[in-house]
Structure 1
Amino acid sequence: MKRSMFMEKGGQIYFDEPSYEEALIGETDDGKVVYDYYGMIESLMKNEEMSDEEATDFISYNTIRFAPYLKDRAPLVVDQSYATDLDGLKENCEQEVRYPEAVLGLDLVQTKVVYDYDKLLKLVEKENDWNEDTARDYIIETLIEEGLVVVFVD
């Protein structure tokens, strides 16, 4: 099997060889592709006939380790188990968890907290008693500008 490579398509960087297409879950506001970590493992187990351990090692050494070479264009690999394990999230990320109810998971490439846009939108609306447009503008003009990683989940 070839080492995981990247390809550009429509201005976005995707994993290629293997593609992990089945693990795509969305994209960020700036067009980065977002993959589900466990979906990637399942994809390798199914399509490449790897064991769970082999798939996990492959992703760690051949995908996540090389993604930072793409710098700010690297796809995100999100471990969604951190959405329900906030203590684990805090241990593995120095970033403050600002909206726990909207956490999608932890990006394993840049070790940043990742938020689900739809959940964040509803939370910001409710907390501030704002309409959807005002909440959306706040997310885009303030939170994303401050560095919050927000994913538009498909």
Structure 2
Amino acid sequence: MSQATAPATSPSSPAPPAAPKDGRTSERSLARRLAARPEIGALIAAIAVYVFFFAVASPFREASSLANVLYESSVMGIMALPVALLMIGGEFDLSAGVAVTTSALTASMWSFQLSMNVWTGVIVALVVALAIGAFNGYMLVRTGLPSF
């Protein structure tokens, strides 16, 4: 068995030549890396809309107005996130809107029409939404139909 050893280099020997740089390996600036990301366009648009309404509408400058905008954005975002994840995975689920509407109607009916506690209506609405999701999932797996 022989062992191969690397040749020793002396300090006076020249360094090996650097690999030539092409466009793929060159370092890009921070601005170019940010411009390549698709979410930056949405962020710039959101900032532009905010600046526009801040300049044009004086009630928009109040903190309560910003709280309303953030509240409405969270309502849309809570539903947009799981639907977006499904779309990234190659699926398309139209039943998400039906489940949200049905659970909201269930909560309101149990809370106000049946004069139950609000928390009872919320719990029943969550059970209904879980039942809808479980039924959809079971049908998709069992039948092999596409989620659309």
Shorter-chain TM-score tier:
under 0.3
Identify the structure with the greater strand proportion: 1
Max Rg structure: 2
Could you state the TM-score of these two structures normalised by the residue count of structure 2? 0.23
Could you state the TM-score of these two structures normalised by the residue count of structure 1? 0.22
Identify the structure with the greater helix proportion: 2
